[in-house]
Amino acid sequence: MVDYALIGKGIRRVDTTAKATGEALFSADLKLPRMLVGKILRSPYAHARIVHIDTSKAERLPGVKAVITGKDVPDERWGVFRYTQDQRFLPVDKVRYVGEEVAAVAAVDEDTAIEALKLIDVEYEELPAVFDIESALKPDAPLIHDAYPGNINISVDINVGDVEKGFLESFYIREDAFEAPEDSYFQGEPYAVVAHFDSSGNLEIWMPNAGPHLKAKPLSNVLKIPLNKVRVRKITIGGAFGGRSEISPADVICAFLAKKSARPVKIVYSREENSIATRQAHSMKATIKTGVDREGRVLARDITCYMDGGAYSSTGPIAVSVPFLCMEQAYRMDNVRYRGYRIFTNKPIRGMFRVHGRAFACGIDLQLDLIGKELGFDPLEMRLKNARRPGDYTPTKSKVVSCGMVEAIERAAEKARWREKWDRLPPYHGIGIGCNSVQTGFPMGIRGGSQAFIKFNEDGGVTVITGIVDNGQGNDNMIVQIAAEELGLKVEDIQLINADTEVTPSDPGSYSMCETFVGGNAVRLAAQDAKRKLLKIASEAMKVEPERLAMRDRKIYVIDRPQEAISISRVVRMALSRRENISGEGSYWPKVDSNREWVTNPFGQLSETFSFGAVIAEVKIDPETGKVDVLEVTAAQDVGYAINPKVIEGQFEGGVAMGGQGGMLSEKVLWYGGRVLNPDQLDYMVPIAPGMPKINDIIVETNDPGGPYGAKEAGMSVAMSAAQAYASAICNALGVYIHEFPLTPDKILKAIKEKEEGKNR
Q: pLDDT digits over 707-761, tens only?
A: 999 999 988 899 999 999 999 999 999 999 999 999 999 999 999 999 988 865 5
| CA pair distance 192, 47, nearest whole angstrom | 26
Look at residue 133 and tell me if it is in a domain: no
Report the number of distinct structural domains present in the chain.
3
Residues 6+ positions from 181 with CB-CB distance below 8 Å: 283, 668, 669
**226 and 315 part of one domain:** no
Answer yes or no: do 547 and 676 share one domain: no
Q: Are 744 and 750 in contact (CB under 8 A)?
A: no
Strand 280-281 and strand 183-184: the pairing is antiparallel
450 with 438, same domain?
no
Contact in structure between 565 and 549 (CB atoms under 8 Å):
no
Average the pLDDT over 153-163 and give the result: 98
Same domain, 439 and 450: no
Name the least confident of 146-150, 628-632, 681-685: 681-685
Domain limit, last residue, from 564, 588, 612 = 588
Mean of all residue pLDDT scores within the chain? 96
Q: How far apart are CA 538 and CA 561, in angstroms?
A: 15
662 within some domain: yes
**Residue 392, domain member (yes or no):** yes
Contact 471, 652 (CB under 8 A): no
10-62 pLDDT, tens digit per residue, is: 999 999 999 999 999 999 999 999 999 999 999 999 999 999 999 999 999 99
Burial 292-314 (b: 16+ CB within 10 A, else e): beeebebbbbbbebbbbbbbbbb
SS3 for 279?
coil
Are both 218 and 88 inside the same structural domain? yes
Residues 287 and 429 in one domain: yes
Same domain, 380 and 507: no
- 486 and 603 share a domain? no
Catalogue the long-range contacts made by 202-206 (C-beta closer than 8 Å, 24 or more residues apart).
Answer: 202/229, 202/230, 202/231, 203/229, 203/230, 203/231, 203/255, 203/258, 203/259, 204/231, 204/233, 205/230, 205/231, 205/232, 205/233, 205/251, 205/254, 205/255, 206/27, 206/30, 206/232, 206/233, 206/235
For residues 479-500, average pLDDT: 97
Q: Which of 530, 553, 588 is the last residue of a domain?
A: 588
**Per-residue confidence (pLDDT) for residue 206, from 0 to 100:** 98
Average pLDDT for 603-618: 97
Domain boundary among 588, 621, 641: 588
Across 497-513, b (16+ Cβ under 10 Å) vs e yields: ebbbbeebbbbbbbbbb
Count, in order, helices (H) and strands (E) of the chain: 19, 33
- Do residues 266 and 305 share a domain? no
| Closest C-alpha among 546, 579, 552 to residue 568 | 552
Residue 497 belongs to domain with CATH number: 3.30.365.10
Residue-wise pLDDT tens digits, 412-444 = 999 999 999 999 999 999 999 999 999 998 888
Residue 1 pLDDT: 66
- 742, with CB counted inside 10 A (0-12, 13-18, 19+), is buried
Question: Cis (ω within 30 of 0) for the bond into 379?
Answer: no
E-state strands within 553-627:
555-558, 561-567, 583-588, 610-621
Least Cα distance to 72 among 85, 58, 86, 53 occurs for 53
The residues near 73 (Cβ < 8 Å, ≥ 6 apart) are 88, 89, 90, 222, 252, 256
Please state, in angstroms and rounded to a whole number, the distance separating the CA atoms of residues 588 and 17: 31
* Together in a domain, 636 and 516: no
Strand partners of residue 672:
675
- What digits encode the pLDDT tens for the residues 506-537? 999 887 788 999 999 999 999 999 999 999 99
pLDDT computed for residue 759 by the predictor: 67
Residues 647 and 744 in one domain: yes
Verify that 299 and 382 share a domain, yes or no. Answer: yes
49 domain residue, yes or no: yes
The per-residue pLDDT for range 97-109, each reduced to its tens digit, is 999 999 999 999 9
- What percent of the chain lies above the pLDDT cut of 90? 94
- Asked, for residue 170, whether it belongs to a domain, the answer is no
Q: Give me the CATH number covering residue 251.
A: 3.90.1170.50
- Residue range 656-700, pLDDT digits in tens: 999 999 999 999 999 999 999 999 988 998 999 999 999 999 999
* Residue 246 predicted with pLDDT over 80: yes
Instruction: Return the H-helix or E-strand segment holding 413.
Output: helix 405-416
d(CA 490, CA 185): 36
Does residue 342 lie within any of the structural domains? yes
Provide the pLDDT for residue 760: 58
Domain assignment present for 65: yes
> Which range of residues forms the domain containing residue 72?
32-127+199-238+244-270
The pLDDT of residue 222 is 96
Provide the pLDDT confidence category of residue 242 given band limits of 50, 70 and 90: confident
pLDDT tens digits, 22-36: 999 999 999 999 999
Asked if the structure places residue 610 within a domain, the reply is yes
Q: According to the model, what pLDDT value does residue 100 have?
A: 98
